[in-house]
Amino acid sequence: QVQLVESGGGLVQAGDSLRLSCAASGGRAFSNYAMGWFRQAPGKEREFVAAITANAYSTAYADSLKGRFTISRDNVKNTLLLQMNSLKPEDTAVYYCAARGRVSISRVGIDYNYWGQGTQVTVSS
């Protein structure tokens, strides 16, 4: 019911920055959904990156990413953002936007009801 489309990925060098976007449509109003970013590197499990409450009052980050990545949202434009700074080769992964049918944060992928198709981020040495 909710459609999510990620964009902004690409090939960058270590130390560069990228800003990922996720456009949401359908379902209830965007402001009803807590949102999250997850990523999956080749041969590895999907892992939590960041999440934000429906009203942007609170955020959560994977401990290893805190300080480099920033999650935000624009509930007028129905857009979720992920600012990624000081990128490292180990950040290389497909990044997924996800919507959760509650207003509160979850760090667990199974708690999210809708997923985008992902956008590839590749960081060279």
Q: In the chain, where do the E strands start and end?
A: 2-7, 10-13, 18-26, 34-40, 47-52, 59-61, 69-74, 79-84, 93-100, 114-115, 119-124
What are the structure tokens assigned to 104, written together? 């509160």
Chain segment 32-75, per-residue pLDDT in tens: 999 999 999 999 999 999 999 999 999 999 999 989 999 999 99
Task: Decide: 52 and 71 in contact? Cβ < 8 Å.
Answer: yes
**Residue 108 CB neighbours (<10 A):** 11
Per-residue pLDDT of 12-24, as tens digits, reads 999 999 999 999 9
Distance between CA atoms of residues 111 and 100, nearest Å:
7
